[in-house]
Amino acid sequence: MNVYVVIGFGPTGAAVARLLAAEGHSVRVITTSGRGPESGIEHVALDAANSTRLIEATRGATAIFNCAAPPYHRWADEWPPLATSVCAAAESTGAVLVMLGNLYGYGPVDGPLTEELPLAASGPKGRVRAAVWEQARGLHEQGRITAVEVRASDFFGPGVTDGGHLAGRVMPRLLRGKAVSALGDPDVPHSWTYVPDVARTLVEASGEERAWGRAWHVPTAPALSFREMVDRLAARSATGPVAVRRTPPAVLGAAGLFSPLIRELKEIRYQFDRPFVVDSSAYEAEFATHPTPIDEQVAATVDWWHDRLGTTR
């Protein structure tokens, strides 16, 4: 039986751990706080930035999935030590390092996002995410570790409650038929990556040697605008159409005075003010995972939120 270590237990980390456990593997999840045991999953409480303890916790692992991330407003300070510790664990154990990445490292671009684009972000969060991958890739090219990065767009789907632009800020209001707010232009195309597809891609890439040593985009359904996604979600929820309003920049600026999260969003506003479209054809041409049909994504997401909130279907 293979042993897999998952660092982080947010929506993606939890989905990866449970997928691996369902396949019969032994799974160890590492978080700072720990959790109670669940079938097939051992939960360990430790700070993953502590390389000595992380190396001890990952011994014997076939693969290490890094699905953790520091608090959004502390990325610049906390990502480097976390990334260095995870790379040290991969080097010490020989486990494949599978990194959950995002698209910040590219910065604003014209046209669809592909893996061939340079990591040319100028903002601090984009630069730090690019540096995390460059560090791992450099060690991979030196033969010291085996690494692969899987990059996703905005998370969407069951289990996504915080951070997702179609999550806690939208779904509770939508299920009650109330108006929702968009951070940018609600009518520009935007790619939404379904969390179960992220988990399947991470697990698949961990076992495919030809995937290693580079970054891949998670198979992602064709882009839809914020308004189009809200319309689909509302239709599934049977609440009827809901109004979609653009949040005025001045309101966001004022909110940023009190919220570190809102303040940090300024760097990536371009993702919502202009088309933000992911091209995942490279991965889909090589491997088995393809995006879940959008209607299935919407149905599963709405049903999950109904269960969470106890609302009528």
Question: What pLDDT is stored for residue 104 in this prediction?
Answer: 96
In the three-class reduction of DSSP (H, G, I as helix; E, B as strand; rest coil), residue 208 is classed as coil
Q: Are 99 and 108 in contact (CB under 8 A)?
A: no
Question: What pLDDT is stored for residue 310 in this prediction?
Answer: 87
CA distance 76 to 79: 6
Task: Give the residue-averaged pLDDT of 200-206.
Answer: 98
- Which pLDDT band holds residue 135 (cuts at 50, 70, 90)? very high
pLDDT above 90 covers what percent of the chain? 84
Q: What are phi and psi of 196, to 5 degrees?
A: -60, -30
Total number of residues shown for the chain: 313
Average model confidence (pLDDT) for the chain?
93
Task: Give the residue-averaged pLDDT of 79-88.
Answer: 98
What are 147's strand-pairing partners? 97
* pTM score of the predicted model: 0.95
Both structure tokens of 96: 């494949």
Token pair 């990536």 is at which residue? 268
- Which pLDDT band holds residue 258 (cuts at 50, 70, 90)? low
C-alpha distances in angstroms, 88 versus 69, 92, 135, 251?
17, 6, 11, 43
Residue 312 has pLDDT above 80, yes or no: no
Higher pLDDT, 307 or 73: 307
CA distance 133 to 157: 26
- Which pLDDT band holds residue 121 (cuts at 50, 70, 90)? very high
Residue 193 has pLDDT above 60, yes or no: yes
Helix axes 226-237, 294-309, angle to 10 degrees: 60
**Would you give the distance in Å from CA 102 to the centre of its chain?**
7
CA distance 160 to 168: 8
Question: What pLDDT is stored for residue 256 in this prediction?
Answer: 54
- Which pLDDT band holds residue 259 (cuts at 50, 70, 90)? low
Which residue segments constitute the domains of the chain, with CATH numbers given?
3-154+192-217 (3.40.50.720), 161-191+222-276+293-309 (3.90.25)
What are 148's strand-pairing partners? 98
Least confident residue range of 192-201, 241-250, 288-297: 241-250
Question: What pLDDT is stored for residue 238 in this prediction?
Answer: 86
Name 313's Cβ contacts closer than 8 Å, sequence gap at least 6.
237, 238, 303, 306
Both structure tokens of 165: 């632009």
